[in-house]
């Protein structure tokens, strides 16, 4: 076999491996739709998405997932509000300010945080945060929006922090030197040169963090409380989509309407995360830094 043939063969092998993941993705999406779409023969799509009542086992059953969608969106937004400042500021601190030793310690603790299984975090939310919150604020339950958002934020911080950190590192040294040479302080350089230059990367980090939060299942299953009702306060229990799917899938009879409704919920979730990822892609392409000198 000569070299060209070898290279062709190697290319082909890589192509096959790359193809495998695409095929698997395709199969998953296909089965998601195959199991979920038949629901819409029984329930119309508008009632499904905007219906306020989720009584899948009542007679007749009601499949309205609006409260579930709202729950997912609310906990994601609150988690983002908590995680973005913490994640971005820690990234700035790690990449621009911290002395070497502290940098190493912080980086490994954030990596460790990323490595914590979600069930451990959920457990923490259940047995530590929930009772504390219930007592401190005198609530009927500590399993609620705030608790879920905090735990989801803890999960999203490592994602946001590490991607934002990469974006900050990628800001070319030349820009920083130019700023310092003009008599800018470190703080001025960070806020006026480094952060704006890294903006697209930071936005990407935020959106990927959000998509991590919206798809997270175990945490919301354990600490969101599970009430399928529109929340009136941030201390109300909610039932985000992944929690609903995980909790009910085991008891829904195979290919019943309930089973199909859960898959259809999965389809909605799939579109939402896909939207997040597309937005992240779009941002990172659109604002991609134009390189420095065009010499």
Partner 1 sequence: MGVNAIINVNDVNFYYGNFKALTDIKMDFKKNLVTALIGPSGCGKSTLLRLLNRMNDLIDGTKVEGEILFAGQNIYAPDVDPVEIRKKIGMVFQKPNPFPKTIYNNISYGPKLMWNLSKSDIDDLVEQSLKQAVLWDEVKDILNKSAMNLSGGQQQRLCIARALAMKPDVLLMDEPTSALDPISTAKIEELIDDLKKNYTIIIVTHNMQQAARISDETAFFYIGKLIEYNKTGKIFTKPDVQHTEDYITGRFG
Contacts with partner 1 by CB under 8 A lie at: 100, 172, 174-185, 188, 192-193, 196-197, 289-295
Q: Which residues pair with 62 in a beta bridge?
A: 55
Nearer to partner 1, 129 or 203 (CB): 203
Assess contact for 123 and 190: CB atoms under 8 A.
no
Helix axes 241-249, 257-286, angle to 10 degrees: 150
Nearer to partner 1, 95 or 149 (CB): 95
Closest distance to partner 1 from the beta carbon of 178 (Å): 5
Nearer to partner 1, 44 or 172 (CB): 172
Closest distance to partner 1 from the beta carbon of 294 (Å): 6
DSSP state of 97: I
Nearer to partner 1, 107 or 258 (CB): 107
Cα separation, 76 vs 70, in Å, equals 10
Closest distance to partner 1 from the beta carbon of 283 (Å): 16
Q: Which residues pair with 225 in a beta bridge?
A: 238
Nearer to partner 1, 184 or 279 (CB): 184
DSSP codes joined into one string, the chain: --HHHHHHHHHHHHHHHHHHHHHHHHHHHHHHHHHHGGGGGTS-HHHHHH---EETTSSS-EE--HHHHHHHHHHHHHHHHHHHHHHHHHHHIIIIIS-HHHHHHHHHHHHHHHHS-HHHHHHHIIIIIHHHHHHHTT-S-S-SHHHHHHHHHHHHHHHHHHHHHHHHHTS-HHHHHHHHHTT--HHHHIIIIIHHHTHHHHHHHHHHHHHHHHH--HHHHHHSB---S--SSTTS-B--HHHHHHHHHTTSPTTSHHHHHHHHHHHHHHHHHHHHHHHHHHHHHHTPPPPS---
Nearer to partner 1, 7 or 174 (CB): 174
Closest distance to partner 1 from the beta carbon of 163 (Å): 20
Nearer to partner 1, 105 or 275 (CB): 105
Closest distance to partner 1 from the beta carbon of 94 (Å): 15
Closest distance to partner 1 from the beta carbon of 204 (Å): 17
Closest distance to partner 1 from the beta carbon of 291 (Å): 8
Nearer to partner 1, 178 or 246 (CB): 178
Assess contact for 83 and 157: CB atoms under 8 A.
yes
Closest distance to partner 1 from the beta carbon of 169 (Å): 16
């Amino acid at each position: 076999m000569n070299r060209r043939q070898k290279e062709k063969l190697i290319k082909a092998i890589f192509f096959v491996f790359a193809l495998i993941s695409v095929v698997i993705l395709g199969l998953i999406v296909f089965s998601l739709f195959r199991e979920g779409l038949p629901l819409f023969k029984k329930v119309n799509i508008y009632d499904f998405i905007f219906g306020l009542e989720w009584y899948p086992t009542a007679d007749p059953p009601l499949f309205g997932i609006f409260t579930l969608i709202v729950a997912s969106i609310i906990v994601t937004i609150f988690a983002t509000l908590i995680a973005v400042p913490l994640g971005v500021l820690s990234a700035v601190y790690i990449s621009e300010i911290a002395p070497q030793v502290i940098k190493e310690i912080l980086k490994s603790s954030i990596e460790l945080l990323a490595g914590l299984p979600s069930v451990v975090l959920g457990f923490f939310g259940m047995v530590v945060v929930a009772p504390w919150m219930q007592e401190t604020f005198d609530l009927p339950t500590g399993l609620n929006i705030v608790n879920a958002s905090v735990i989801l934020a803890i999960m999203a911080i490592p994602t946001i922090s590490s991607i934002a950190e990469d974006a900050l590192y990628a800001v070319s040294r030349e820009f920083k030197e130019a700023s310092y040479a003009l008599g800018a302080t470190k703080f001025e350089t960070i806020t006026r040169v480094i952060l704006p230059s890294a903006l697209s990367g930071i936005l990407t980090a935020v959106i990927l963090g959000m998509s991590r939060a919206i798809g997270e299942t175990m945490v919301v299953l354990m600490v969101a409380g599970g009430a399928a009702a529109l929340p009136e306060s941030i201390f109300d229990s909610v039932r985000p989509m992944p929690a609903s799917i995980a909790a009910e899938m085991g008891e829904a009879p195979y290919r019943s309407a309930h089973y199909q409704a859960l898959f259809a919920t999965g389809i909605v979730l799939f579109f939402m995360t896909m939207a997040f990822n597309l937005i992240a892609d779009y941002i990172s392409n659109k604002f991609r830094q134009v390189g420095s000198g065009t010499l």
